Amino acid sequence: MTSGPYNYSYIFKYIIIGDMGVGKSCLLHQFTEKKFMADCPHTIGVEFGTRIIEVAGQKIKLQIWDTAGQERFRAVTRSYYRGAAGALMVYDITRRSTYNHLSSWLTDTRNLTNPSTVIFLIGNKSDLDGQRDVTYEEAKQFADENGLMFVEASAKTGQNVEEAFLETAKKIYQSIQDGRLDLNAAESGVQHKPASPGRPLAAPPAARDHCAC
């Protein structure tokens, strides 16, 4: 399914969550295509929200899923969370209501992802500082209390967007290195693609009979 000229060692799955209209799609677009498109943010283009980055010399393919933020879909969007290695939680610094909903988003994320999932809080639209409705300090405190990484970013200018994605990837990679993240778990959200084949198995796995009977 994934085609591209790049070889990569890992695939990290991210999800972007947050209220409707906080700029989730714009952030994704800014990151994957490095530009802000006010009018035509193809959330899921042909490339489908992927970008290959490099962390500690390892090529990592980020697979980012945008999600629907409407309140009415909250109950049914749990399947998005499945197997996410990173969750970018986005609010709009110009709309306090989007900030107030963060705790419920956080609860969802904690409940629906595995403990090693990295959650990154992003205060979007930092370019609209004049209309700010949520102070940096307040959000920073919230992030610290909940053990989240936090940054204010602007999908429009691109400020801090790259950093948010990269920091998340670094943290995930660190978790892998620390062994906190089990690569073999289906829900880890990380796929490891060894660049070179390891030692060959004695027999093809199909030859073995796992039947219980």
Partner 1 sequence: MIFASKMPSLRIDQSDLKCKNGCDYFGNPQWQGYCSKCHRELLQRQRRAEKASSATLPKPEQKKPERGIKLASHSSFSKFEEKRLRQSETLKKANLLKFSVFKKSSTDEHDHTPERKPPEFKIPALINEGMKREFRVRFTNLPPQVDRDARVFVHSFIMDVIKCSNVMTVDELSERVQRHYQHFMKYMDTSPHFANAESEIKELLIDFVEKHAMTYLHDLPGVVFSPIGTEDERLDRAMSERIQQLSWVGEKHLECKLDRTDSACSQLLYKAISELLAVDGAAGPGGKLSRVRRACRHVLALCGASASADDLLPALIFTVLKANPPRLVSNINFVTRFCNAQRLMTGEGGYYFTNLCCAVSFIENLTAESLNMDKKEFDCYMAMPASIGGSTWAAALSLCGAAREAAEQRAAARALLADVATLRAEADLLAANADSFEKEIAFKVNDVLANTPLEIKPRREPLRLSSLRNSSIPLIDLETPVDTPAPMKPSEDIPQIKLPEIMPVEEPVTVTFDRTTDEKITQNIIDFQSLEKPSPPKSPQNQPWELKQTGSFELLTPSPLGFTPFDSRSIDELMTPDDFGSDHLAPGLSNINYDIDLSDFSGDNSLAEDTPKEPKDPFSPDGIKKEPVFDPFQPQTSQSSYKNVLEKFDEFSLIDSKSNETSEAFEVVHRTQDSCTPAAAEEPGDPFSPVQKEASILDDSGSPTSACLLPSPLQPQTR
Interface with partner 1 (CB under 8 A)? 1-4, 7-8, 11, 13, 20-21, 24-25, 39-44, 48-49, 63, 65-70, 72-73, 75-77, 79-80, 82-83, 186, 189, 191, 193-195, 197-201, 204-213
Tokens of 178: 């620390």
Q: Which is nearer to partner 1, 40 or 179 (CB)?
A: 40
SS3 208: coil
Distance between CA atoms of 196 and 207, rounded to whole angstroms? 24
Tokens of 171: 């943290």
Q: State the alpha helices, DSSP H only, in the chain.
A: 24-33, 78-81, 96-100, 102-112, 136-145, 161-178
Q: Which is nearer to partner 1, 78 or 180 (CB)?
A: 78
Residue 63 beta carbon to partner 1: minimum distance, rounded to whole angstroms: 5
Residue 3 beta carbon to partner 1: minimum distance, rounded to whole angstroms: 6
Q: Which is nearer to partner 1, 111 or 147 (CB)?
A: 111
Residue 81 beta carbon to partner 1: minimum distance, rounded to whole angstroms: 10
The residues that bridge with 149 in the sheet, in sequence order, are 120
Q: 110: exposed, middle or buried (C-beta count within 10 Å: 0-12, 13-18, 19+)?
A: middle
Residue 54 beta carbon to partner 1: minimum distance, rounded to whole angstroms: 16
Q: Which is nearer to partner 1, 23 or 123 (CB)?
A: 23
